[in-house]
A = this chain, B = another copy of it.
Amino acid sequence: MIIPLVLTSEIPIYQQIHDRVVEGIASGTLPVGASLPSIRALAADSGINFHTVNKAYDLLRQEGLLHLTRKHGAVIARDHTSGPPHQDFVADWDTRARTLLAEARAHGLSHGDILDRCQALLTAFGVDGPPSAPASGSLA
């Protein structure tokens, strides 16, 4: 598991680690049971501090996506096969999605363009069922 980081980015490093792991889970690269590098190993390999990685892993743990044990290290605890999300998560996600979609709309992307982009991004993660007959073909 290689985690590309941009140390000079304005996005906090711990957030970048978190986001890359989440994307790995979403794409199936990191299924339930997959191991992440140990906190110290990732810190050493990435040239960053132990505590920065610790914070990222702890955040993932709080979200229920990661199990941290002394014995097995850091192990993915959840993916799209683990059932529906917590309702609190969905509410929060909707709020953030609303803001992000509004931004696209305000800058001139059309309703259809935005949905197309979302679908393309999702498809890039891989499918979770029969993708041959998109039930939500009502993009227009």
Please indicate the chain B residues that have their CB under 8 angstroms from the CB of A79 in the complex.
106, 108
The chain B residue with its CB closest to the CB of A15 is B99
Number of interface residues of A (CB under 8 A): 75
Q: Contacts A80-B110, A108-B84, A128-B110; is A25 near B102 (CB within 8 Å)? A: yes
* Residue A120 is within 8 A (CB to CB) of chain B in the complex: yes
Question: Any chain B CB within 8 A of the CB of A44?
Answer: no
Is A40 located at the chain interface by the 8 A CB criterion? no
Residues of B contacting A106 in the complex (Cβ-Cβ under 8 angstroms): 22, 25-26, 65, 78-80
Count of this chain's copies in the oligomeric assembly: 4
Contact B112 A137, beta carbon cutoff 8 Å: no
Taking CB atoms, residues of chain B closer than 8 Å to A77 are 8
Q: How far is the CB of A100 from chain B (nearest CB, A)?
A: 6
Decide: B137 and A23 in contact? CB cutoff 8 A: no
Q: Is the CB of A85 within 8 A of B109?
A: yes
* In the assembled complex, A41 has its CB within 8 A of some CB on chain B: no
| A50 at interface, CB cutoff 8 A | no
